[in-house]
């Protein structure tokens, strides 16, 4: 049986206003999962300068810069409104996140996977809210959102750049770094200096097509960020620190439109056809090395799988876990079984009946790529599902 690879899609209803993109819009139309950071795996307990933001569903830090999660259920350092790095109520709900834009090379970023790929030539509107911590020494202007086709995974704790390697005729390699260009960025002359209220960062852009990931932060060096100092800032922190909340992304031109008063409803049809016996790889299921606990980066794909199962209530599936060929056979078999079980458990906990699900582990016995290369082994470490009935 041939294995088919899909980026899972769900039916999305997009509600937009004709002339006012900040109008109230149905949450289902937002292309951002967990936009206000309310869904979490655990309550944050402390601010770790070398940690990773692993508590909040569908969001993560793409670099070594340690972004922070705040929730009313958190420990003293991570609680709202008062926490270790400032005092602020969330823009909505009980949760928010925080990042340094820094006055030096140090940077922190937030990343998420979109509900669906962006469509080439279509117009989109991104918005999110920021509030400066009064503990900061200065404020900046150029916080923005970068859309990319691929997930950003970098260990740097400095400003993200695009690294291009050029190989010359004499065999010498040259590594050139160029600035990344976010599609939406706050205007240079509008410094984000409010420590009491929230300021909105927003803008429209035309998609190149295939963008699937959003990264939020400051992509400009300090000298290009319009750094400003204010008397009400306390200079407790080493850099400009911003709380972030309520991220929204809507397509302004996609699909079939219907007019209801002053609201345009844009509907995208789900045309995916499924068949019994079909095998679908879950492209973005992540575990820590040698572990079976699902990482927050997995939850976008898991929610897409939930949407498929809820859209097709008679569908029954078999989940299967797979590993590369490193390690002993018995160990790999148990590891693959427990990883498939982790996905099974997530589905059960989110309302899918047990009689619709099975799970198995196959270890390294069913590779889909060459185990001799890092890329091949990465492809072989996977979770997939087979459709048993519809």
CB 322 within 8 A of CB 336: yes
Share of the chain above pLDDT 70, in %: 84
pLDDT at residue 261, as a whole number: 38
Query: Could you tell me the domains of the chain?
Result: 12-251 (2.60.120.260), 279-389 (3.30.1330.60)
- Whether 228 shows a pLDDT value over 90: the answer reads yes
pLDDT recorded at residue 102: 83
- pLDDT grade, residue 171 (50/70/90)? low
The string of pLDDT tens digits covering residues 112-134 is 999 889 999 999 999 999 999 99
What distance in Å separates the CA atoms of residue 341 and residue 330, rounded to the nearest whole number? 17
Token representation of residue 289: 């090395």
| Neighbouring residues of 112: CB distance < 8 A, sequence distance ≥ 6 | 32, 33, 34, 58, 59, 60, 213, 214, 247, 300
> Quick one: which of 32, 83, 105, 285 has its CA closest to 68?
83
Whole-number pLDDT of residue 65: 92
The pLDDT score that the predictor gives to residue 381 is 84
Summarize the confidence of residues 224-236 as an average pLDDT.
94
Is the model's pLDDT at 268 over the cut of 60?
A: no
Q: Which residues does residue 357 pair with via DSSP β-bridges, in sequence order?
A: 317
Evaluate if residue 303 carries a pLDDT over 60.
yes
The pTM (predicted TM-score) of the whole model is 0.74
CB atoms within 10 A of CB 155: 7
Alpha-carbon separation of residue 197 from 90, 94, 138, 192 (angstroms)? 10, 16, 16, 11
How far is Cα 216 from Cα 108, in angstroms, rounded to an integer?
9
Cα distances (Å, whole numbers) of residue 25 to 20, 232, 261, 263: 11, 36, 14, 9
Low-confidence winner among 14-28, 101-115, 275-289 (lowest mean pLDDT): 14-28
Higher pLDDT, 2 or 187: 187
């Amino acid at each position: 049986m041939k294995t088919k690879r899909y980026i899972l899609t769900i039916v999305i209803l997009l509600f937009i206003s004709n002339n006012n993109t900040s109008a109230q819009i149905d949450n289902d139309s937002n292309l951002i999962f967990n936009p206000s950071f309310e869904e979490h795996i655990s309550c944050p307990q402390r601010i770790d300068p070398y940690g990773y933001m692993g508590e909040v569903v569908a969001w993560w830090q793409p670099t070594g810069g340690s972004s922070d999660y705040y929730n009313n259920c958190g420990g003293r350092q991570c609680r709202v409104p008062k926490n270790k790095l400032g005092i602020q109520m969330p823009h909505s709900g009980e949760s928010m996140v925080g990042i340094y834009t820094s006055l030096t090379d140090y940077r922190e970023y937030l990343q998420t996977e979109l509900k669906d790929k962006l469509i080439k030539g279509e117009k989109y509107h991104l918005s999110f809210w920021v509030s400066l911590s009064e503990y900061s020494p200065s404020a900046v202007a150029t916080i923005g959102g970068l859309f990319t086709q691929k997930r950003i995974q970098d260990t740097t704790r400095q400003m993200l750049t695009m690294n291009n390697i050029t190989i010359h005729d004499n065999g010498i390699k040259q590594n050139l770094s160029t600035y990344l260009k976010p599609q939406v960025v706050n205007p240079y002359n509008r410094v984000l200096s409010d420590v009491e209220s929230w300021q909105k960062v927003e803008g429209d852009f035309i998609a190149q097509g295939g963008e699937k990931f959003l990264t939020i932060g400051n992509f400009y060096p300090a000298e290009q960020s319009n750094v400003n100092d204010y008397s009400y800032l306390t200079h407790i922190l080493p850099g400009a620190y911003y709380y972030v909340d309520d991220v929204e992304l809507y397509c302004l031109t996609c699909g079939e439109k219907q007019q209801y008063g002053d609201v345009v409803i844009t509907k995208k049809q789900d045309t995916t056809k499924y068949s019994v016996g079909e095998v679908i790889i879950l492209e973005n299921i992540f575990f820590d090395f040698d572990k079976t606990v699902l990482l927050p980066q997995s939850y976008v794909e898991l929610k897409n799988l939930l949407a498929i199962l809820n859209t097709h209530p008679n569908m029954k599936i078999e989940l299967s876990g797979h590993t590369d060929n490193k390690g002993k056979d018995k160990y790999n078999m148990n590891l693959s079984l427990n990883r498939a079980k982790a996905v099974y458990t997530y589905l059960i906990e989110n309302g899918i009946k047990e009689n619709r699900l099975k799970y198995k582990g196959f270890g390294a016995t069913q590779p889909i790529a060459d185990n001799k290369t890092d890329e091949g082994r990465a492809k072989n470490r996977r979770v997939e599902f087979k459709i048993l009935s519809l």
